[in-house]
A = this chain, B = another copy of it.
Amino acid sequence: MNFLEERILKDAAAKPGNVLKVDSFLNHQVDVELVERIAEEFKNRYADTAVTKVLTIETSGIPIAYATARQLGVPMVFARKSDSVNIDGQMYVAEVCEPDKETSTRVVVGKRFLSPGDKVLIIDDFLAFGSALQCLCSIVDSAEAEVAGIGIAIEKGLQEGGYRIRNLGYRLESLAIVEEVDPHTGEIHFRQQF
């Protein structure tokens, strides 16, 4: 069991509907030491690729993406949801349609910030359905840049996002893959990874 899985067992709360609350250390209060360790792990796993940019989407992936970018010594870009901001100039646009929401959200990245030749490491805190991630991949494709890889802190193994993304041929590293969350006993089971 790795450090993130141990931390999840110690501090995450299992809720009905297969929900895992990690708001005490990852996506509301942020444990800086933990995030630095996650970032270090991504840096090591992608040490064989010459990453030029780290990309995430607002909001809760930003601390991990920032920490990874700092450790790699490259800029970080966070894609913005277009209803929340007025960004000038030419933009790459993609639509996120989460299966559990009725509306779709436009996601934008300024064209100035991704270029052909960029090797982009996409980072996020959670992977469930994978819609946001597919958006980011399509934006990188639009820029004729390369997805060097994807780093996820917590993948929800029961939802199809991970399967879908790996099937598309992307290299996806998830530090913890949660297979099952029991809301009654609070038990959390991880997929064994080697």
Which residues of A pack against B, CB within 8 Å? 13, 15, 21, 23-24, 28-32, 35-36, 58-59, 62-63, 66-67, 69-70, 73-78, 80, 84, 87-88, 109-110, 112-113
Give chain A's interface secondary structure class: mixed
Q: Which residues of B contact A113 (CB under 8 A)?
A: 24, 28-29
CA of A105 to CA of B61 in the docked complex: distance in angstroms? 22
Rounded to whole angstroms, the CA-CA distance of A113 and B22 in the bound complex is 13
Contact A78 B30 (CB under 8 A): yes
17 A-B Cβ contacts within 8 A?
A21-B88, A23-B87, A23-B88, A28-B80, A28-B87, A28-B109, A28-B110, A32-B69, A32-B70, A32-B75, A59-B62, A59-B78, A59-B80, A62-B62, A62-B63, A63-B76, A66-B66
Output the least CB separation between A15 and chain B (Å): 7
Given the known A-B contacts A59-B58, A62-B59, are A30 and B69 also in contact in the complex, defined by CB atoms under 8 Å?
Answer: yes
Q: Which of B21, B31, B76, B88 contacts A75 (CB 8 A)?
A: B31
User: A110 contacts B63, CB within 8 Å?
Assistant: no
Instruction: Chain B residues near A23: list those with CB within 8 A.
Output: 87-88, 110
Distance from A9 Cβ to chain B, minimum over Cβ atoms (Å):
19
In the complex, chain B residues whose CB is within 8 Å of the CB of A29: 75-77, 110, 112-113
* Contact indicator B87/A59 (Cβ below 8 Å): no
In the assembled complex, the Cα of A23 lies from the Cα of B75 at a distance in Å of 12
The answer for the CA separation of A180 and B109 in the assembled complex, in Å, is 28
